Structure 1
Amino acid sequence: MSTVLTPPEESLTPAPVPDWLMPPPQGFTAEDLDRLTGLPPHTELIDGSLVLVSPQVDYHALAISLFETALRRQAPDTLRARREMTVRLGKRQRPEPDLLLIRADADPGPKRTFYQPSDVLLVAEVVSEESAERDRKRKPQLYAKAGIPHFWLVEIVNAALEVHVYQLDEVTESYALLGIHRDRLELPAPFPVDIDLTELQRM
């Protein structure tokens, strides 16, 4: 005679659905990123929608580290370099740039989860395959509209870095391209910057 094993009753109860899988009718707000539990790391909010980030590829992570180290070493005492922190640009906008240059007096301590646009002098995005559309189009629009003065778009082309440098045109609230840099990034603003881009290949 065969025996049918019935699982315990509690095992038939479905696991609760995380709050962030059920967006409200008007979309999520900037405050929700701090309220929702169980969000994957580096979740962004763009146009009221949560953007879940894929795992980084090696070159993407190395490129961020290269720029972060250089900015920390070269920035004046009035500025601080940060990586992968969100910026609250509006009620339903809280993107997470790969790199930020913030004013030193805007950093109040270890519990900060986001910055205001007025805190930020520079944002940089290192383009990855899954985020290319956002990095090249939507996020620069949001950063410019919020008045962030400088934007770098970093492309990885055949294992080499290519940096597109933009500066805000306050009249049009959009970024103007100042130049495309390969091998070396030398700039007078937002402070004198000199970064050997070929270092990526030696990391």
Structure 2
Amino acid sequence: MPDVSSAFEYWPAPPPWGWSVDDLDHLPCEGPNGEPDFFRHVELIDGALVFMAPQQRFHQRLIQEFTKRLDDQAPGYLAAVHRMDVKLGPRTRPCPDLMVIDAEAAADNARTFYESREVHLVVEIVSPESVERDRKLKPLRYAEAGIPHFWRVEESDGRPVVYVYERDPATGVYTPTGIHHGHLAVQVPFPFEVDLDQLVK
């Protein structure tokens, strides 16, 4: 079991050696100064801890409704999960809003993260504080890890807009395949269709 206590000597800066993905499973419940639930919503990006802001209701509703509909329409070998970590490397372990993963992996209730090879789709719902990460940094890292599909969801006049990307195996980067307003219909990673405006009503 990693001993993370020595890292707090450098708080709030990360320790010189950086945080590792295994450290997240051993962070204490309280913060360095006794703050309750301090590490409850934290991601690891390039060896640095990133604290997530409280969710807006729009964000929460989209996570719930997208997860339900993806799970309902997914083939039996896949399952949709939300707010679970994915390990992209020894120093990067983000917590996407939702993912479609191997059903076998989803059935393991002891898991705290999934390996990138188990992930077929990542969906990030952009919030005001996460724009740069969700538009630029995270898609780059997901593509580098080989995750084949990425969707970014943004708000426009109170309605969701979905930007769909597929990883080009020749370049290893995501290529945009569509921008969807009002209605989303795709064939990969499996046939899926949803009325986007109904997700927030």
Question: What is the TM-score of this pair, normalised by structure 1?
Answer: 0.88
Q: Distance in 2 between matches of 1:139 and 1:172?
A: 17
Residue identity opposite 1:35 in structure 2: H
Matches within 5 A, 1:68-147: 68-147=67-146
Does the 8 Å contact 2:125/2:153 carry over to 1? yes
What is aligned with 2:19? 28
Does the 8 Å contact 1:18/1:37 carry over to 2? no
3-state secondary structure, aligned to 1:31: helix
Instruction: Report whether the alignment pairs 1:195 with 2:194.
Output: yes
What is aligned with 2:32? none
> How much does 1:35 deviate?
1.2
| Mean CA deviation greater in 193-202 or 114-123 | 193-202
What is aligned with 1:52? 51
Evaluate the alpha carbon distance shift between residue 65 and residue 107 of structure 1 in structure 2; reply closer, same or farther with a 3 A threshold: closer
TM-align CA RMSD = 1.7
Does the 8 Å contact 1:42/1:84 carry over to 2? no
- The runs of 5 or more residues in structure 1 that have no matched partner are 1-15
> How much does 1:197 deviate?
0.2
Residue identity opposite 2:25 in structure 1: D
Does the 8 Å contact 2:120/2:148 carry over to 1? yes
> How much does 1:107 deviate?
3.0
3-state secondary structure, aligned to 2:21: coil
- The runs of 5 or more residues in structure 2 that have no matched partner are 30-37
> How much does 1:37 deviate?
0.8
Q: Distance in 2 between matches of 1:140 and 1:174?
A: 9
Paired residues, number: 187
Q: Distance in 2 between matches of 1:51 and 1:22?
A: 11
> How much does 1:21 deviate?
4.0
Does the 8 Å contact 2:7/2:15 carry over to 1? no
Residue identity opposite 1:129 in structure 2: P
Q: Distance in 1 between matches of 2:189 and 2:199?
A: 22
Moved segments of 4+, more than 4 Å: none
Deviation string 1:14-44 (CA, Å, 9 cap, x unpaired) is xx99937452202100001001112432310
Deviation string 1:120-174 (CA, Å, 9 cap, x unpaired) is 0000100000011000000000000000000000001110010000000122111
Does the 8 Å contact 1:80/1:103 carry over to 2? yes
Question: What is the TM-score of this pair, normalised by structure 2?
Answer: 0.88
What is aligned with 1:6? none
What is aligned with 2:182? 183
Does the 8 Å contact 1:45/1:51 carry over to 2? yes
Q: Distance in 1 between matches of 2:138 and 2:86?
A: 11
Q: Which has the larger radius of gyration?
A: 1
What is aligned with 1:12? none
> How much does 1:65 deviate?
1.1
